[in-house]
Every structure is written in structure tokens, then in C-alpha cells.
Copies of this chain bind each other. A is one copy, B any other.
Amino acid sequence: MTQSKKWTWMMLKENIHTKILNGTYAPDDKLPKDADLAQEYGCSRSTIQRAMSELSHMGVVDRRRKGGTCVVPLRETRAMITIPIISKEIAQQGKTHTYKILHRAIAIAPAHVLAGFKVPAATKMLHLQSVHFADNVPYIYEDRWVNFKSIPAVLDVDFSVENANEWLVKNRPYSDWTLSMHAINAPQDIAQIMHIGKDHAILVIERFTWHQNTPVTAVKLYTHSGYSLNTQG
């Protein structure tokens, strides 16, 4: 039925996905094995493999050696989100990015930072608090701890000029990270900085980064009112 056509892996992915969506393959059904599908579609097994591994990655099917390929019954939505580089994001909106540092100190990192890093002992880190503006309107407030032991040069940087995130991305890339998003009511100090009312709801993006198991930086980004993260699939 499906021969005589040239199938790319992308077309295969969509074709099989459609068959799953329209019930040709129902939830929990077992799909034919790759070799049989290859014959059915008249293509090589590698091409089937490529399509199916995408579907597996999307959470649409579950693939196991020896077990075969099944349609996942209650599929979750998986989305790739991009945490933008702040200055780029602001520039894309046609606005001017400026940046101001409010606080710089070396201090023992608070418990939640140590916990997030999974570092048990109290450790001194560089504490940086700063604000990003878009056309002089507060855009994001950034509260950051930097483990300067992993990158001593950070102590010599003049962060009144240089943006901490971008300096770090350039000078101490990370290999692993965690990310968490939640909502909070703005406490008094942040409300004042962001020019919003106390208790105004803000989206907080919290990120921990490591480089080969060494903590690099922990940052909380307190977004401006109305900020949203978007994606599609």
C-alpha cells in the first residue's frame, strides 16, 4: 500500500504519528518491528529507525530491545524551551538593554544554594545582584552566586560594566544544569527594584550549573510583570 513513494525519515515520522493519532495504532498496541516496517514502506531499516527514535524521543512510542515498539497510552506533552540570553531577547524586541549591578560581596552561600548544588559544607561564594533593563524599564532582576573557586578570575571582573551571565557563559561554560520555574509574590525589596507593587506575581527561573561536577553558579531570575515563556511543538 505504501510503496512506490520515496519516504524520508521525516515523512515516515509524520505518517506513523498520524496512524497513531487516528487510531490505526491504538494506545498500548505493538507496532511491527523495524524490519517489517522497512519492508512495508520500501525503505531501509535505518530510515525507520530514525523516524521511530524521534517518536520515542517525543514520548509517542516506547521502544525496548526484544520488547518491540508500543504506543504510549497517556502521552505527556514534551516541549523544548529556550532560556534566552537576556540582552539578545531585549534586542529582539527592538529595545535597548542596559544593566546595573546593585550588590557585590563574598559571603557564605545560603543553605538553599548549597542544597541546590548538593554541596554539604558551608562555602564562600561571590554574590552578585543586578538588574536588566529594557529601554530603562526593569526587565529581570538577577540574584546570583558564583563559586569563584571554580573560576578565580571572576573576582577580578568589573561587573559594573560587564554582564555576569554573559561573562560566565564566555569564560566558564557549564556542562550540567538544573532548571526550575515557579511563581512567587514579589517581596518588598524586589518589588521596589522592579517598580511593581509588593506581592505582585512574578515568574522565577532558577538555574544551577556545574562544570564536570564542580558547582559554577546558581542564579534566580525574577522576571518582569507579564513575562512569559513560550514554546510550541
Query: A: which residues have CB within 8 A of B?
Result: 17-18, 20-21, 27, 59, 73-85, 88, 166, 169-170, 173-185, 199-204, 207, 211, 223, 226-233
Given A20-B173, A21-B173, A201-B184, do A178 and B230 touch, yes or no (CB 8 Å)? Answer: yes
Kindly state the separation between the CA atoms of A77 and B84 in the bound complex, as whole angstroms.
Answer: 7
Are B230 and A180 in contact, CB atoms less than 8 angstroms apart? yes
Q: Main secondary structure on chain A at its contact with chain B?
A: strand
Kindly state the separation between the CA atoms of A227 and B184 in the bound complex, as whole angstroms.
Answer: 10
**Total identical chains:** 2
Kindly state the separation between the CA atoms of A75 and B85 in the bound complex, as whole angstroms.
Answer: 8
Are A233 and B176 in contact, CB atoms less than 8 angstroms apart? yes
Kindly state the separation between the CA atoms of A231 and B180 in the bound complex, as whole angstroms.
Answer: 6
Which residues of chain B are near A203, meaning CB under 8 Å?
A: 181-183, 203
Please pick, from B88, B181, B201, the residue contacting A201 in the complex, using a CB distance under 8 A. Answer: B201
Given A170-B27, A173-B20, do A229 and B181 touch, yes or no (CB 8 Å)? Answer: yes
Are B77 and A82 in contact, CB atoms less than 8 angstroms apart? yes
Which residues of chain B are near A231, meaning CB under 8 Å?
A: 178-180
